[in-house]
Chain A
Amino acid sequence: MKTIIYIIQKEFKQIFRNKGMLPIIFVLPLLQLVILSNAATFEVQHIKFGYVDNDHSSTSRALVEKFSTSTYFNVLTDFPSESKASAAMLQGDVDVLLEIPRYFERDLQKEKHNNIGVTINAIDGAAAGVENVYVTQIVQRFNRNIIIDLLQPSDQLIQPAIIDTIPLFWYNQTLNYKTFMVPGILVLLVTMITLFLSGMNIVREKEIGTLEQINVTPIKKSQFIIGKLFPFWILGLGLLTIGLIIAKLIFNVPMIGSLLLMYFYTSIYILVVLGIGLFISNFTDTQQQAMFIAWFFMVIFILMSGLFTPIESMPKWAQILTEFNPIKYFVEVMRMVMLKGSGLIDILPQLSKTLLYALIMNGLAVWSYRKTN
């Protein structure tokens, strides 16, 4: 125990003496939290909208009017011909193109049915999907009005009943993306910093030769590893604290659940990350190698965490892979506890998997650390 304290003392001294690393550890992640949370949103706005009106009737103008009043579509271009419009799409000047056919109004009155063409630039598939939804909504709303306008007394019987859905968004009523993203990005920052620092720490001692000096002392493997990782465990919890304060003060993210539970889960979660970091540093000889491997895992963990893309929409095999992703559990737990107010019982599945993960990773890390080779 006494030996461990000497190591912890030394590690903290080294961390706080490293004037180059301190801002990287504390300031950069928090800047990222502020910037990313504001920037990473799924909302598609400022859609460049163009149309070709071949009809020039009051109905076609009314339809275009609907788009121009929408807050999502802000650039409106009236193209004289389809070929000009296609050229603009190719140039990237238009995202969504509406094509109103000739005799649009006449056919609509006569046949009570008509088609309009919508072309969407789908280079970014996700944005295209969202744009399609917007367009459909506007056209549907327009439809309902036009039905009423065109209604003849004799038509009343065949008028279909309209079923409307009224969505209630629980746990995030206003669908505020920041509420959704801040806990997730906080998770990433805590993970990245603790993974990189722990991954590079022991390798660094290998590089400068002090690890060999440590290995000729009678220190026990477990003492050395606990002493080495404990400062980063504290650091991770400190980072979480600062992140939570920012989430509350700057983003006003609701924190419905218990803070204690958040800390309890995080303290176990960080053990997983530290275990992975240590495992990496045992199998690498330079900080550069360790950094590359840590990044490799980090990218996979982030993209498969459900933070940016829902896990439900991944193929089955990918969903199975996400079971091995610690970030996934952390993101789930943070969102559950912060936004939903979930309690210990609710997060038990994630908690027990994380605990198991921590035991396995640290077991592997201690096992693979060799004082003798």
Chain B
Amino acid sequence: MNTNKVIQVGGLTKMFGDFTAVNTITFDVEKGEIFGFLGANGAGKTTAMKMLIGISKPTSGNANVAGFDVFTNAEDIKKNIGYMSQKFALYDDLTVKENITFFGGIYGLSRAKIKKKSKELIDELGLKDVAGHLVGSLPLGWKQKISFSVALLHEPKIVFLDEPTGGVDPITRRQFWEMIYKAADEGTTVFVTTHYMDEAEYCHRVSIMVNGKIEALDTPKKLKEQFKAENMNEVFLKLARG
């Protein structure tokens, strides 16, 4: 196994009854890479991601994430990954600090480490004034940034982001991508789905899923050449329309 490849997927398939949600997808992701996982609504992105993070059992195929098999060692994968779901998933009725403490705690971080991490996180995001506020009272953009930071709390090898910038203003989106770049620079692999094609340009490599299959996979530059397109938006439209 190539140690630089932190995600290796081969022929991964998920069926719900007769419906094939994910159809024999194959790809690799390298360490420190920002991997864009694109596709229209219902193309199977979230289903594929759920298999990789070990909360959905694949029907067939194989996948290795952070050095562990999704069939046999799903729980080991979970120690090594962070995840931020489409739905905002921190506790609205806990404060920023309490959320950090809780998630740090269930990832098994020591009290001292949690304290240090939460101070760092709060300073970095400039949340000092609202650290004691309930998360539910904060604007969406802030929540998403906190969510991302919490997903990185236990220093995972890979972080999975499912449409992290949905409904967020352009400035916050920009800041969010700065955070993603910083994480990648520190060696964290970032696996991100998005609907914003400008964000796709920021990714090192991009795959585009159509009806459960990966129809294109390359750097944004090469994809644009291949499809003779001005930008990723055109690439996406050409592919998704079939």
Contacts and interface: CB of A to CB of B under 8 A. Distances in A.
A219 B54 CA distance: 13
Interface stretch (A9-17, A38-46, A271-279, A284-292): A9-17
Given A209-B85, A216-B83, A371-B55, A18 B93 contact: yes
Nearest to A211: B89
A5 B81 CA distance: 23
A219 B106 contact: yes
A212 interface: yes
Contacts of B9: none
Interface string B69-103: 00000111011010101011111111000100111
Interface string A44-69: 00000000000000000000000000
B79 A218 contact: yes
Interface in B225-239: none
A348 interface: no
Interface residues of A, number: 25
A343 B40 CA distance: 68
B85 to A, nearest CB: 6
B75 A218 contact: yes
B108 interface: yes
B105 A3 contact: yes
Mostly helix, strand, loop or mixed at chain B's interface?
loop
Nearest to B57: A372
B56 interface: yes
Nearest to A370: B55
Nearest to A17: B93
A373 B93 CA distance: 28
Contacts of A148: none
A373 B92 contact: no
Given A10-B94, A17-B93, A210-B89, A216 B107 contact: no
A283 interface: no
B53 interface: yes
B106 A7 contact: yes
Interface of B: 53-57, 74-76, 78-79, 81, 83, 85, 87-94, 98, 101-103, 105-108
5 closest A-B pairs by beta carbon, nearest first, are A6-B105, A209-B87, A213-B89, A216-B83, A218-B78
15 contacts: A5-B105, A6-B101, A10-B98, A14-B94, A17-B93, A17-B94, A18-B93, A208-B92, A210-B90, A213-B85, A213-B89, A216-B53, A216-B81, A217-B78, A218-B79
